[in-house]
Amino acid sequence: MNGIISNVTRRALLKTSGALAGGVLAGMPLSQVIWAAEGRVLKVRMNLDMTSLDPAHYVSDREVDVMHCLYSKLTRYKPGSQWGWELEAAEKIEQVDPTHIRFHLKKGIKFSGGYGEINAKDFKFSVERTMPIPVWGPLDHVEIEDDYTGVIVFKTPYEPVWWLPLPHASGQILSEAAVRKVVKDGGSFGMKPPAFSGPYMLAEWKANEFTLLTRNPEWSGPKPGFDEIRILPIGDDKAAERAYQAGDVDFTFISPESVSNFKSNPPPDTKIEVMPSIDYDWLGLNVDHPKLKDINVRKAVQWAINVPQILDAAYAGEAKVATGTIAPGLVGHRETALIPPEGDLAKAKVFLEKAGVSDLKLTIDCLNDSTSTTIAQVIQAQLSQIGIAVEVNAQNSGSFWTLGMESEGDRWKDLQLILNGYSGLPDPQYETAWFTTAQVGVWNWERFRSDRFDELEAKAVAVADPNERAKFYYEMQDIMEDSGGYRFLTHAPRPIMSRTTKMQAVTRPDGTPLYLDFKPSSA
């Protein structure tokens, strides 16, 4: 879902991201401080610290990247440059009719801790735990035919099932017995999974320091390439680049503005790739806030923003303008937005005059990484041109990613402008599901509400013809933009840097790492 995240209290080892980025602590490379032994070890950077490995309660898609190592699913995304899926825990899976999918599990996939083989009841239990997540759409129930066979039953046809829940977080199969032993119904086990069924186990996690995965001795499937996966949470791309150069990580995302410099002067034995992201970034406006209730004020903000200026400053020309939440190449991508990328200051001033507003002061909340703060500062300067003063509130991920959640207190009431970004998946429903009325106060922080949007969202998932389906998503993005709650910015590219003497990095088409497919360079 969200490009996203949570933070907890920083512990002693890593005092600042600068200390991590420098890669030196008491004169030693950080990797040597944390881990003395080296072997077939995959050292990667993650742009956040994890808070949950529970598929029913995760916050970030980066957490899902780790779940893929720990649990099993019926299907998984194929690695490579084209979107596709393949069997994982399922021996066979088929669409029986538009509302029924039958699966048959492979035998012999065991849960750790003596919880036995994965069975159809475990799948049913796992699915029911994640049904509140929008990606299951009109799911009704899972029928059990025998220990290894079941049928997924939908109330109405659901096209996204193959791309969203099955190969992603909601398809992870947990041990019913193990989970029930540690959490009550509706509860979360957070960062303490009670059992594993994938190639790796969570050996250790220290908040804001590191995550260590080691081989699962009960795994009987194909052997992954590395004995350990060591993950360092580094929120800022620039800090991650320095950590890579210091040898603390061998795989990392880098900032788009650093691409040209690294390509002209790459670190030794380094491969640099720029992948086309399907994530999406935008400026959100809280339509319920008293200062933004008047749509004319929101329209003024939208028209005052010059997106190409923002992208030039934040991405050094490496990012393209977004026309909505749905990226190029996906069903429902709009060729143009309602508001031109450059905006129009004269029109913006007219909207402010209509609202009868002067001396307006607003806040903009953003993450405290260098790219986000740059974007926020450019927006601050642009809005000043129409007389709106903006205060930038840059926050760490733990604070930021609970801002709009009503379950986390009353801070949502103070939100005004929000610089936001969510992760994408290869079906447009994932890029629209978070903006329904039901998501207000959950992930819909703009508190945008539209009966027509909700109606289209429900209908679009049942349409098989991609051209006809696209029309629903065109209109939905029009409705979002016309509400004044959104100014779409970019689907920022995802540049990757990997050390070729250590690994052969493998990703999805959008650059998301598939750690299980990484191979040691000597393999």
Here the tokens at position 461 are 């998932």
> Is pLDDT of 31 > 60?
no
CB 285 within 8 A of CB 305: no
Element (H, E) at 67: helix 61-70
Task: Say which range, 31-35, 382-386, 390-394, 513-517, has the weakest mean pLDDT.
Answer: 31-35
Is residue 26 within 8 A of residue 15, CB to CB? The reply is no
Cβ atoms of residues 323 and 335 within 8 Å: yes
Tokens of 130: 């994640």
Examine the pLDDT at 33 and tell me if it is beyond 60.
Answer: no
CATH architecture of the domain covering 1-47+62-70+207-273+499-523: 3-Layer(aba) Sandwich (3.40)
What CA–CA distance (Å, rounded) separates 117 from 123? 11
- Mean pLDDT for 43-47 is 95
- DSSP one-letter string for 91-115: EEEEEEETTEEEEEEPTT-B-GGG-
By percentage, how much of the chain surpasses pLDDT 90?
A: 87
pLDDT band at 23 (very low <50, low <70, confident <90, very high): very low
What is the number of residues in the chain?
523
Give the lowest-confidence range in 37-41, 206-210, 298-302, 371-375.
37-41
User: What are the CA-CA distances from residue 515 to residues 70, 201, 210, 251, 505 (Å)?
Assistant: 11, 13, 16, 11, 8
What's domain 280-490's superfamily in CATH? Dipeptide-binding Protein; Domain 3 (3.10.105.10)
The pLDDT assigned to 445 comes to: 98
186 backbone φψ class: left, alpha, beta (φ>0; ψ -120 to 50)? left
Helix axes 237-245, 370-384, angle to 10 degrees: 150
Burial profile 319-337: b = 16 or more Cβ within 10 angstroms, e = fewer: bbbbbbbbbeebbbbbeeb
Residue 30: is its pLDDT beyond 50? Answer: no
**Averaged pLDDT for residues 319-341:** 97
Determine how many CB atoms are found less than 10 A away from the CB of residue 16: 10
CATH of domain 75-179: 3.90.76.10
Residue 259 pLDDT: 92
Residue 108 has pLDDT above 50, yes or no: yes
Closest-CA residue to 333 (of 445, 421, 423, 432): 432
pLDDT of 21 over the 90 cut: no
Sequence-ordered alpha helix ranges (H) in 214-357:
237-245, 259-264, 295-304, 307-315, 345-355
Residue 22 clears pLDDT 70, i.e. is over it: no
Residues pairing with 455 in the sheet: none
SS3 165: coil
Q: Which residues neighbour 404 within 8 Å (Cβ) at sequence distance 6 or greater?
A: 286, 411, 412, 415, 418, 441, 443, 444, 445
Mean of pLDDT over the chain: 91
Higher pLDDT, 197 or 59: 197
Four-point Cα dihedral 111, 116, 120, 126, nearest 10: -40
Nearest to 104 by CA among 118, 116, 90: 90
Confidence of residue 318 (pLDDT cuts 50, 70, 90): confident
Residue identified by tokens 């360092």 is 232
Q: How far apart are CA 162 and CA 148, in angstroms?
A: 20
The pLDDT, as a whole number, for residue 316 is: 85
Per-residue pLDDT of 444-460, as tens digits, reads 999 999 999 999 999 99
* Beta bridge pairs of residue 392: 364
The model's pLDDT over 406-420, given as tens digits with 9 standing for 90+, comes to 999 999 999 999 999
Please count the other Cβ atoms lying within 10 Å of the Cβ belonging to residue 459: 12
Confidence of residue 309 (pLDDT cuts 50, 70, 90): very high
- pLDDT value at 339 more than 80: yes
pLDDT at 368: 92
pLDDT of residue 127 exceeding 70: yes
For the chain, the structural domain boundaries read: 1-47+62-70+207-273+499-523, 75-179, 280-490
Residues 6+ apart with CB under 8 A from 437: 444, 449, 450, 451, 453, 454
Comparing CA positions, the residue from 483, 461, 369 lying closest to residue 163 is 461
| pLDDT tens, residue by residue, 483-500 | 999 999 999 999 999 999
Q: What is the pLDDT of residue 503?
A: 95
Q: How far apart are CA 511 and CA 479, in angstroms?
A: 30
Neighbours of 97 (CB within 10 A): 8
The per-residue pLDDT for range 224-248, each reduced to its tens digit, is 999 999 999 998 899 999 999 999 9
pLDDT-based confidence at residue 39 (cuts at 50, 70, 90):
low
141-145: average pLDDT: 98
> Which residue type, as a one-letter code, is found at position 388?
I
Tell me the sheet residues that pair with 215: 200
Report pTM.
Answer: 0.84
Selection from 413, 346, 295, 332 nearest residue 159 by Cα: 332
Exposed, middle or buried: residue 210 (CB in 10 Å: 0-12, 13-18, 19+)?
A: buried
* 6 pLDDT more than 50: no
Exposure on the CB side of residue 113, measured as CA atoms within 13 A: 18
